[in-house]
Structure 1
Amino acid sequence: MTNERLPSDISREMEVQLEHLQNNIAKLQLSVKEKDCCILHEFEELNKLFKHIHNRTATYYLQLYLEPYTEFMDTLTTACQQLSEKRHGALIAVKRENPIESLVHSGIPLHAKLSSSLLEAVFYPGNPLHDGGIIIEKDTIISAGNIFPTSLYYNGKEKEKLGTRHRAAIGLSEVSDAMILVVSEETGRISFALEGNLYPIQPGLS
């Protein structure tokens, strides 16, 4: 990846928030031995702060990797959020510099304008295309129901604990520069794959 370093303003913001998180954790560590009452509220506040930091960073990287290649980033993120909340699995490849059609198989041509409602319809359980992946180029859904290449290993370990969509997302990212968004049907977790790595965007909803 290129230009991965956070801009100075975001970096400073992260430093402040992480320091705040560390201070809160330190306070909680001290209170564990001292408090006689339930401390679940404190854990919930820490969880909210961590999610805020994570989401802020994830938003930056999504913009970095997607905005140069589509003007519909908000449409994509909205669709993924809706699919996540409904626990509808999804696999979406966004073309960047290089073509990827020769790397996938069995896609049904759509050539339809990208919209959140169409993405949700394609990945609705029971739709014949919902188990495959979508290919997006700029503002167009090129095809749906595609079979992406998969690989057996991730960071040197077997991918047996990863679902089929996640293995396919990683597999395509290993052989192309595409960015692949994936929504877990089991947990609602949203991630993206790029250059053979899988990055969480949003925690699961379990």
Structure 2
Amino acid sequence: MNTTNCDFSPTKQQLSDGIQQITSELQHSLEVLGNEDYCLLSNLEAIKEKFIQMESVAASFYLNCYLSAFTDKYEELSVCVQRLSNRYHGALIVVERSDPLDPFIQKGTTIGATLNSVLLETIFFPGNPLHDGAVLIRANQIVSAANVLPLTTAVISGRKLGTRHRAALGLTEKSDALVLVVSEETGIISFSLNGRLYPINTAQTLH
């Protein structure tokens, strides 16, 4: 997919403003580097935090780009994962893209319903028999729930990953699927693509 055609102008502007601010602060650090009264370490720590924030905003932007090419209901997904995050309800949502996923997924319960946020939230409500597995999205349909995904065998340095995150990585290592993950421990939303995991900005909805 060519993400240069994506037009999510508010997020683009937020990224532009953030990068300009970081650039300005780095330039200022260079200018005062020889000043003994200036604490470079504290400023670098602040810049590091801004980089982390910009990475999260950038992930939100690209997530929308990827989703909008394969489902018209990407805003429903945005609303759903934000609400699940706010409630600390864990979730695992697979969006099928070009690669057929049947060879990689142990199929659960057939749903066959139009994608909507309320139904997805109900599936992932704690105690629901279907909430532990993955939901499969194909175009604008919820195809099935309680699916079992292959788990990654990769060792992620410095990170302890739960089963949902390992499943997201495992499937995206084998296919071009995009997998959304909501952590029930932290509420953090991430997405996995091409065997990598990206946290996204939860300070706003994704659209």
Q: Identify the residue that residue 200 of structure 1 maps to in structure 2.
A: 199
- Alpha-carbon shift at residue 151 of structure 1 (Å): 1.6
- Alpha-carbon shift at residue 3 of structure 1 (Å): 3.8
Q: Identify the residue that residue 136 of structure 2 maps to in structure 1.
A: 135
Is 1:67 the counterpart of 2:68? The answer is yes
Q: Identify the residue that residue 146 of structure 2 maps to in structure 1.
A: 145
Give the letter aligned to residue 196 of structure 1: G
Contact kept? 1:109, 1:143, Cα under 8 Å: yes
- Alpha-carbon shift at residue 95 of structure 1 (Å): 0.7
Q: Identify the residue that residue 83 of structure 2 maps to in structure 1.
A: 82
Q: Identify the residue that residue 166 of structure 1 maps to in structure 2.
A: 165
Q: Identify the residue that residue 94 of structure 1 maps to in structure 2.
A: 95
TM-score by length of 1: 0.77
Q: Identify the residue that residue 125 of structure 1 maps to in structure 2.
A: 126
Q: Match of 1:103, SS?
A: coil
Give me the whole-angstrom Cα distance separating, in 2, the residues matched to 1:159 and 1:118: 36
Give the letter aligned to residue 166 of structure 2: R
- Alpha-carbon shift at residue 26 of structure 1 (Å): 7.9
Alpha-carbon displacement from aligned partner over 1:53-87 (angstroms, at most 9, x marks no partner): 44542332112211111000100011000000000
* Structure 2 spans left out of the alignment, 5+ residues: none
Give me the whole-angstrom Cα distance separating, in 1, the residues matched to 2:85 and 2:158: 22
- Alpha-carbon shift at residue 177 of structure 1 (Å): 1.1
* Aligned residue pair count: 193
Give me the whole-angstrom Cα distance separating, in 1, the residues matched to 2:158 and 2:169: 10
Give the letter aligned to residue 164 of structure 1: T
Q: Once the two structures are aligned, what percentage of the paired residues are identical?
A: 40
Contact kept? 2:82, 2:202, Cα under 8 Å: no
Give the letter aligned to residue 122 of structure 2: A
